[in-house]
Structure 1
Amino acid sequence: MNDYIVEENIDIEKVGSEFPLKSESRFLYLDANKPSYQEAKIGEKPFIIYSKVINDYKDVDYEKLQADYTLRKAFKFLSISVELYEKR
Structure 2
Amino acid sequence: MTYKRKGQNLMRVRGYKEKGNIDTPLELAIRNETDRYSLAILAIDSLKSVLGNKGSSTREYLLNTRTAAMNYAYETGQDPDNYVNWTWDY
Both structures adopt the same fold (TM-score exceeding 0.5): no
Mark the structure with the bigger radius of gyration: 2
More helix by proportion, 1 or 2?
Answer: 2
Of Structure 1 and Structure 2, the greater strand share is in 1
TM value normalised by structure 1: 0.26
